[in-house]
């Protein structure tokens, strides 16, 4: 392990690269596979994997469904081209439609999105098994703390190099790592439906959410204003996403 005591951005990058290298080495894996959406979290995760392992040991996978903006695919291609990473595209709309046609389904935009997220997870694990790779998660601390992810979908991975970072820190890293501006400047979106934005769905900006969560962490969970109250509600409601499934051994 590299000795790093400083919390500057350069040292942060060194620490994350160490984590990636050690995890891949410890697993006797050849490298890492990352779902590349065209958004900022996957761009930063992919860039850090490249810096840790070299681009030839990183595989990007874009997995579009009908609600995704085609510009996101272009951004995914541009990102991987600029980093020298192989990008493969696995369209998932057809297989998602098959799930939606199955009996006992209530078709809602959230369910459609969650099916897509779980199909992406399945696809990444299939590719990882075929090529001896580990699956890289892209979750950050902000979305982890409020449960803003699909349980066993995009939240499922072998390594989570960004999980300790607030969303604002992901933006700082993106700039430092040279992620293209088109990716940094677009509104974060899960792509569950056309025009969806995270901030629109959550009813607050990431700046507000980060500030609220940091304040709650410092105060031991005592909300000081309505935004913190709302954020605390998200944290409490999503507890089940941060703990193992209920079982008799832990009750
Ligand atoms: N108390 C509890 N104890 C144990 N399990 C509990 C539970 N409450 C619900 N559950 C289980 O959890 C399920 C609900 O969780 P889940 O299936 O995840 O679904 P849910 O949390 O309803 O929806 C996912 C949310 O995450 C957002 N998201 C997803 C993926 C990516 C991104 C992004 O930013 O890119 C955002 C999405 O926009 C949506 O708001 C329930 O159907 C139930 O099975
Ligand atoms: N169309 C897609 N193709 C490949 N991977 C995807 C796709 N959509 C989502 N993912 C995966 O799911 C992860 C979670 O999505 P999320 O929207 O939170 O992150 P992001 O798109 O990378 O960043 P943001 O939307 O915040 O700019 C992505 O980082 C990516 O790994
Ligand atoms: Mg996104």
- DSSP letters for 26-75: HTT-SEEEEE--SSHHHHHHHHHHHHHH-GGGEEEEE---TTS-HHHHHH
Q: Whose CA is nearest to atom 4 of ligand 1?
A: 240
Q: Please tell me if the CB atom of residue 110 comes closer than 6 angstroms to any atom of ligand 1.
A: yes
Question: How many CB atoms within 10 Å of residue 46?
Answer: 28
Surrounding residues of ion ligand 3, Cβ less than 5 A: 37, 39, 189
Q: Please tell me if the CB atom of residue 192 comes closer than 6 angstroms to any atom of ligand 1.
A: yes
**CA 26 → CA 79, 140, 167, distances in Å?**
28, 23, 28
192 CA closest ligand 1 atom index: 38
**CA 209 → CA 167, 203, 243, distances in Å?**
9, 10, 22
Q: Please tell me if the CB atom of residue 160 comes closer than 6 angstroms to any atom of ligand 1.
A: no
Whole-number Å distance between alpha carbons of 91 and 99: 15
Pocket probe mutation, ligand 1, options 44, 148, 153, max atoms within 8 Å of Cβ: 148
What pLDDT does 220 receive? Answer: 97
ipTM of the complex: 0.99
Q: Please tell me if the CB atom of residue 148 comes closer than 6 angstroms to any atom of ligand 1.
A: yes
Neighbouring-strand partners of residue 87: 60
Contact 172, 40 (CB under 8 A): no
What pLDDT does 6 receive? Answer: 82
Helix, strand, coil percentages (3-state) for the chain, rounded to 5, are 55, 10, 40
What pLDDT does 7 receive? Answer: 81
What pLDDT does 4 receive? Answer: 62
Question: How many CB atoms within 10 Å of residue 196?
Answer: 17
Start-to-end Cα distance in the chain: 36
Q: Whose CA is nearest to atom 35 of ligand 1?
A: 190
- Residue extents of the structural domains in the chain: 9-188
Q: Whose CA is nearest to atom 3 of ligand 1?
A: 240
Residue-by-residue pLDDT tens, the chain, 251 positions: 556 668 899 899 999 999 999 999 999 999 999 999 999 999 999 999 999 999 999 999 999 999 999 999 999 999 999 999 999 999 999 999 999 999 999 999 999 999 999 999 999 999 999 999 999 999 999 999 999 999 999 999 999 999 999 999 999 999 999 999 999 999 999 999 999 999 999 999 999 999 999 999 999 999 999 999 999 999 999 999 999 999 998 76
Quick one: which ligand is closest to 147's CA? 1
How much distance in Å is there from the Cα of 192 to the middle of ligand 1?
Answer: 13
Architecture of 9-188 per CATH? 3-Layer(aba) Sandwich (3.40)
């Amino acid at each position: 392990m590299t000795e790093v005591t400083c919390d500057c951005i350069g040292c942060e990058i060194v620490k994350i690269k160490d984590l990636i290298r050690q995890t891949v080495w410890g697993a006797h894996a050849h490298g890492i596979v990352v779902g590349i959406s065209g958004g900022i979290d996957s761009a930063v995760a992919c860039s850090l994997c490249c810096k840790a392992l070299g681009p030839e040991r990183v595989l990007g996978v874009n997995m579009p469904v009908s609600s995704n903006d085609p510009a996101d695919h272009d951004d995914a291609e541009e990102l991987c081209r600029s980093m020298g990473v192989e990008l493969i595209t696995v369209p998932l709309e057809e297989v998602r439609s098959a799930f939606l046609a199955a009996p006992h389904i209530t078709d809602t935009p959230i369910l459609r999105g969650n099916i897509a997220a779980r199909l992406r997870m399945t696809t990444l694990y299939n590719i990882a098994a075929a090529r001896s790779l580990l699956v890289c998660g892209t979750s950050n601390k902000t979305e982890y703390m409020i449960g803003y992810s699909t349980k066993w979908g995009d939240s499922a991975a072998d390594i989570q190099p960004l999980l300790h970072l607030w969303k604002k820190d992901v933006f700082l890293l993106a700039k430092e790592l040279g992620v293209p501006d088109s990716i940094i400047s677009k509104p974060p979106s899960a792509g569950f439906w056309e025009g969806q934005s995270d901030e629109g769905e959550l009813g607050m900006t990431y700046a507000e959410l980060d500030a609220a969560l940091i304040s709650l962490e410092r105060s031991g969970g005592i909300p000081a204003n309505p935004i913190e109250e709302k954020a605390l509600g998200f944290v409490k409601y999503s507890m089940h996403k941060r703990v193992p499934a209920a079982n008799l051994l832990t009750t």
